[in-house]
Structure formats: structure tokens, C-alpha cells
């Protein structure tokens, strides 16, 4: 799936809402937020490579009883497939009032 880019002049709040309706988030914003938080070295704990890709779609991590789901950003090592999830709400990627 190709990355989507915010139309010029569209408020960030509206952009987030539009993406959310499609199960997506602002990819560039997600990468910025992850980079702010993830300190060097950014190597995979499995294969020790630094070759990551961020999925453009929201991943929902459901609790065992399927009562709650956490919206997550999916980050995958392109060498071995190890996957990390970042909570999209904590990264401030969700529209207001969504979780």
C-alpha cells in the first residue's frame, strides 16, 4: 500500500480523522514520533541489523477476552521479520476522541 500524503492546507486534525476512517495513520508523523523516542542503536534484537519498515495501517492488538483493542504502529525488521508494536495513542497519531 502506498503512503498517503496530507493535502496542502488540510488541518492535521482533519487529516488524522480521514486516515482513521481507512484504518491508516500519518506515516511520516509516525516515523518522526518513533525516532524521537527510540534511542540509538536502532538494531533488531534478533538479527542485529538496522533495516526497519513501518506499516501504513493501524494494527489492533486485542486483549485476551476481546473486550479492548490497542491501536498500534507495526514496525518490521526487513532482514528477519522481527516485529515491534508502538501504541499509536501514546505516539499521538489518533484523531481526538479515538483510542
Q: How far is CA 87 from CA 47, 56, 71, 84, 94, in A?
A: 23, 14, 6, 10, 10
pLDDT in tens, 41-58: 899 999 999 999 998 788
Pair 72, 88: CB distance under 8 Å = yes
User: Is the four-CA dihedral 62, 13, 15, 25 of positive or negative sign?
Assistant: negative
Domain ranges of the chain: 12-87
Lowest mean pLDDT among 12-21, 36-45, 64-73: 12-21
Amino acid at each position: 500500500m502506498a503512503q498517503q500524503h496530507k493535502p496542502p492546507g488540510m488541518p492535521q486534525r482533519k487529516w488524522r480523522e480521514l486516515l482513521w476512517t481507512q484504518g491508516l495513520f500519518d506515516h511520516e508523523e509516525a516515523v518522526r514520533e518513533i525516532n524521537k523516542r527510540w534511542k540509538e542503536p536502532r538494531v533488531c534484537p534478533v538479527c542485529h541489523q538496522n533495516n526497519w519498515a513501518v506499516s501504513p495501517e493501524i494494527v489492533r492488538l486485542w486483549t485476551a477476552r476481546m473486550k479492548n483493542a490497542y491501536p498500534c504502529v507495526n514496525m518490521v525488521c526487513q532482514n528477519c521479520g522481527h516485529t515491534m508494536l508502538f501504541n499509536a495513542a501514546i505516539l499521538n497519531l489518533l484523531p481526538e476522541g479515538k483510542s
